[in-house]
Amino acid sequence: MSAAPPAPDTTLVLKDGSTVAVRPVEARDEAALTSFYGGLSPASLAFRFFASPQDVAEVAKRLVISNYESQFGLVASSGNLIVAHAVYIVTGGRRAEMGIAIADEFQGRGLGLLMFAQLADAAARSGIEVFEAVVKADNHRMLDMLRESGFPLRFRSEPGEIHAEMPTALSEEAGMHFERRHALSAQAAVKRFLAPRSLAIIGNSLEGPTAGGVVLRNIVNGGFRGRLHLVNGTGAAVEGYPAYTSVKDIPGEVDAAVITSPPPEAVEAAEDCAAKGIHALVVISPGFGEAGAEGVEHQRQLMEICRRSGMRLVGPNCSGVLNTSREVSLNASVIPTLPLPGKIGFLSQSGSLGAAILDLARAQGTGFSSFVSSGNNTDISATDLVQYWEADPETNLVMLYLETFGDPREFSHVARRAARTMPILAVKGGRSAAGARAATTSHSGVVVRPSAIRLATSSVSEDALFQQAGIIRTATLAELFGTAQVLSDQPLPAGNRVGIITNAGGPGVLCADSCEFRGLKVPELQEDVKAGLAGLVPSTALVHNPATLLAQASADEFRRAIMALAASKDVDALIVIYTPQVGSSAEDAARGVLDAAASLPKAIPMVAVFMSVPDAPSLLRSGALRIPTYPFPEDAARALGHAHRYASWRQAPSEPAPPLEGVDSHRAAAVLSATLAQGPGWLPPAAVTALLACYGLAPAESVLAATPHDAGDAAKKLGGKVALKGLVAGLIRKSDAGAVRLDLEGLHEVEAAAKDIAQRMAAIGQKVQTFMVQRMAPPGVEMLVGVVQDRHFGPVVALGAAGRQAELMKDAQVRLTPLGRTDAATMIRSLVTYPLLDGYRGATPVNVGALEDVLMRVAALADAHSEIADVDFNPVVVHEHGAVIVDARVRVEPVST
């Protein structure tokens, strides 16, 4: 960061036309700054420091420090008096905490915003990229100023306070710039693991069959190109290699360390690594978070050391890391051999499953650029690795086996961006209840509670969320690897039309059926293509697709058939099937496939099915030319189906969330902060109404009443027909419990109904806390809108028809945030029950646009405030002129940091 004064003296013009002089603070300002803070009102001091400081002179003494590298301040003066002070204090990593104080008589004149802009500009020119601010929840003037600054803001609410984060550089590219900076940081962190210039291996024993001995042999046998240092606690040589007693004794810099010691010694070794200034730590040792209370404590200690020192961590309880690049050649793992070089980056939370995939890949002739076993997944995450592989020229595809994704919002955002240029495949553990339990015990995963919004958790396939994020989700490891082959070694299909060539009719039929099931088409062939195939099929057969060649088809006949179908404008992908027949040869068929692949008339993916031919992968590989090979037609169709859906996703434009009028995010943050101060849980009705109003969401007009008599009075004031609800703690299905009455009118009718509800609740041991009297919504279609915090992807918006019958139908749509207008429209029109909104059987069509607006606004609310755990609008009545939220519930919980 710059050591030169980053801000010149300047004059600022305030709203009222008056001016103030602004300059960097200096030591000579100590007395004037003491007077300035001493003259602030108690409220202004509390807003600035959260409490009135006992000694403002001591505060001023600290704040006049301005060395331009760790702290910088500005003062504004009018006459000889300081009327404003702004300061930032560097917190590390090109980030700084900022604070502003304005003299009471200058507040409301725009000076705070101008000081903020000057301070941000000075910070940006000094290399500071992100400002952080902690603001009292009721400091609306400061929150207003931040919102009006034009800087993109991120808020996080905590009890009594709001944490804001913003870039220091304001431009149209500010968001993209910070996204790139974040990616660059992740890439630099991962590079220290996968391409270290120097590496230390630390273990109590580095010989024989111990974990340390295995890792050492693998590093040496893998031909690591960097400097290798051994640390065994004694300094005794290991198999002829010199060793050190402590990592701190190693001369020069060490980029990364691999620890194989038991947990207590591993924690001590990590402390030594931190003292040495090592940046990357791989802890292979088991016995941490997955192994009970003692292991959890060791893992906490390990993470505390890493956070304190800035050291990044892979593991613990992992298999290690590998990099096949010739410049690195690193096998810092317990896996015996490096995989073949290739273009696939692979992350596996399970080391044993990762090793199994690598063995299968070697047998199939498929290579990898790098591999990371994340184990307990405590620090370096899928998000970091995806960003590394996104920029790695040696990687064109990512494979993931994970039980948890880390930060779901960040992963979803990064994955959607990266998948636009690089396929991401994932097989997720913990899909079933039993799998989730197993994930919890094997890698200290987190069991996520069932959501209150059943629509989004039990009625909707998680696959839809993966697909929206551009991630190809597979059900099995075999499917994961089979799909990776076609996406890594073949071009993407231009469409969904498949040409099938086979030397046996039965497998061709099965293949065609499988293609149709996977969303692919097997089109009829044009006459010119049929003419090109006429001499290659049995004389008695008609020429169709699948094209069935002679059972003993030669290499040249396979080649000619492939070339004929590949040239067709109606074919986007090819599947070539070979089955052993009397007089046939797998070698001949493979040669024909390879010859055709080397001279295809257009870029078109081609896969092969060689049934009962164990060595087919080696037969269909020639130098850099590799044809993905499968044992059965269904496997090939499944892989091509994934490739087609991914290609279609990439071709669809990415739509940002639209700007929404009437949104006040910082007021919403203040509401959340105030309610979190009372503890997590479901918000009271008044807080729900206040929160929704910040995003232009208005529930039906209602009045809360303490007694049946008050409920009657409320109904009289509202006028017309009303609904009456008895609010009972913990009661979700009020209608089922008899706590709701509809179409009531007048004081007496409502009061009597309220008394009846109170008696019914008392009969089942419940007490009505308060009554809600609500104006009846116009006739319309009842819908359910909800949001849940998905454990993989963050906020998920759900939409379905309301009511018991609709719940039985399980008719629902889900989307990730942020939600674009097209996303909202597609959600609605994809429902089986959509005709009910569009005038089914002569009914009046309702205002679908109003429902779209509700979806976009609730998505914006959940996307901006991670404290929101659940939102339940049930129902939303969509009528001819708009949409009314009849019942709204919101649950909040603090965000773990």
Q: What is the CA radius of gyration of the chain?
A: 33
What is the average pLDDT across 207-220?
95
What is the average pLDDT across 629-656?
93
Q: For residues 377 and 710, give the distance between their C-alpha atoms in angstroms, rounded to a whole number.
A: 56
C-alpha 392: how far from its chain's center? 20
pLDDT higher than 60, residue 694: yes
Q: For residues 697 and 228, give the distance between their C-alpha atoms in angstroms, rounded to a whole number.
A: 61
Q: For residues 771 and 806, give the distance between their C-alpha atoms in angstroms, rounded to a whole number.
A: 28
Mean pLDDT of the chain: 87
Assigned token pair, 476? 């099995």
Specify the range with the lowest mean pLDDT, choosing from 349-358, 617-626, 807-816. Answer: 807-816
Q: How many Cα atoms sit within 13 Å of 846 on the Cβ side?
A: 23
pLDDT higher than 50, residue 663: yes
Q: Which amino acid, one-letter code, is at 669?
A: A
pLDDT higher than 90, residue 636: yes
> What confidence tens digit (pLDDT) does each residue in 470-489 have?
899 998 888 998 999 999 99
List b or e across 649-674, with b for residues whose CB sees 16 or more CB atoms inside 10 angstroms: beeeeeeebeeeeebbbbbbbbbbbb
Contact 454, 806 (CB under 8 A): no
List b or e across 233-266, with b for residues whose CB sees 16 or more CB atoms inside 10 angstroms: beeeebeeeebbebbeebeeebbbbbbbbebebb
Contact 316, 266 (CB under 8 A): yes
pLDDT category, 68, cuts 50, 70, 90? low
pLDDT category, 13, cuts 50, 70, 90? low
DSSP 504: S
What is the average pLDDT across 789-817?
79
Per-residue confidence (pLDDT) for residue 807, from 0 to 100: 64
Q: For residues 832 and 813, give the distance between their C-alpha atoms in angstroms, rounded to a whole number.
A: 10
Rounded to 5°, angle at Cα 397 from 395 and 402: 115
> What confidence tens digit (pLDDT) does each residue in 87-143 have?
999 988 788 999 999 999 999 888 888 888 889 888 887 778 889 998 888 888 888
Cis peptide bond upstream of 659, omega within 30: no
- Looking at per-residue pLDDT, the higher value among 259 and 541 belongs to 259
Max distance between CA atoms of the chain, in angstroms, equals: 105
**Torsion on CA atoms 693, 697, 701, 703, rounded to nearest 10:** -50
pLDDT higher than 90, residue 695: yes
Closest CA to 607 of 643, 649, 660, 560: 643
Contact 478, 472 (CB under 8 A): no
> What confidence tens digit (pLDDT) does each residue in 400-437 have?
997 766 677 778 888 989 999 999 999 875 554 444 44
> What confidence tens digit (pLDDT) does each residue in 436-464 have?
444 444 443 332 333 334 544 433 446 67
- The helix/strand/coil state of 79 is coil
Report pTM: 0.74
Q: For residues 629 and 418, give the distance between their C-alpha atoms in angstroms, rounded to a whole number.
A: 27
What is the average pLDDT across 583-592?
94
pLDDT higher than 60, residue 8: no
Per-residue confidence (pLDDT) for residue 247, from 0 to 100: 97
Q: What are the residues whose beta carbons fall under 8 Å from the beta carbon of 240, sequence distance 6 or more?
A: none
pLDDT category, 539, cuts 50, 70, 90? low
pLDDT higher than 90, residue 318: yes
Q: Which amino acid, one-letter code, is at 891?
A: R
Between helix 747-763 and helix 708-718 the angle, nearest 10°, is 140
- Looking at per-residue pLDDT, the higher value among 639 and 381 belongs to 639
Q: For residues 259 and 281, give the distance between their C-alpha atoms in angstroms, rounded to a whole number.
A: 8
